[in-house]
Amino acid sequence: MKTDFNFVAPVYDEIFADEQKKEFSKVIYFRKGIDLEEAKGKITGLLKNELHEEYLCFDSGAEVRIDRIISINGIPGPAFDEYDRYGLACLDCNVGGE
């Protein structure tokens, strides 16, 4: 499932820059659809491709699209609200309720 790249609030620029200074970072993100994936290691930089999608690059070779990041070292990322909606989805139904 291909999703269009979404604008990421500028507040994340500082978070990503701070994480690049660390020797180890752990990122949880949406890989495809609602499949979760994890990337770990040193963040080596940001990459923007010809489609203007931006990726965090790791020393392991992993590239994570920044608008799909759920958390980065426990800090909520740009896709956290989307992830949270999946967790709360069942609470929206009235199964057995009035």
Confidence of residue 1 (pLDDT cuts 50, 70, 90): very low
9 residue type, one letter:
A
H or E segment to which residue 15 belongs? helix 11-20
Q: Please determine, for residue 41, whether its predicted confidence score (pLDDT) is greater than 90.
A: yes
In the chain, DSSP assigns E strands to 25-30, 36-41, 43-48, 54-58, 63-65, 69-72, 75-76
Per DSSP, the three-state class of 46 is strand
Q: Between 91 and 24, whose confidence is greater?
A: 24
Residue 15 has pLDDT above 50, yes or no: yes
Domain 11-91 CATH class label: mainly beta
pLDDT band per the 50, 70, 90 thresholds, residue 84? confident
pTM of the entire predicted model: 0.81
Place 4 in a pLDDT band, splitting at 50, 70 and 90: confident
Give backbone dihedrals phi and psi of 97, rounded to 5 degrees, phi first: -95, 180
pLDDT per residue as tens digits for the range 29-39: 998 877 899 99
Count of CB atoms within 10 A of residue 34's CB? 10
DSSP-derived letter for residue 74 is: T
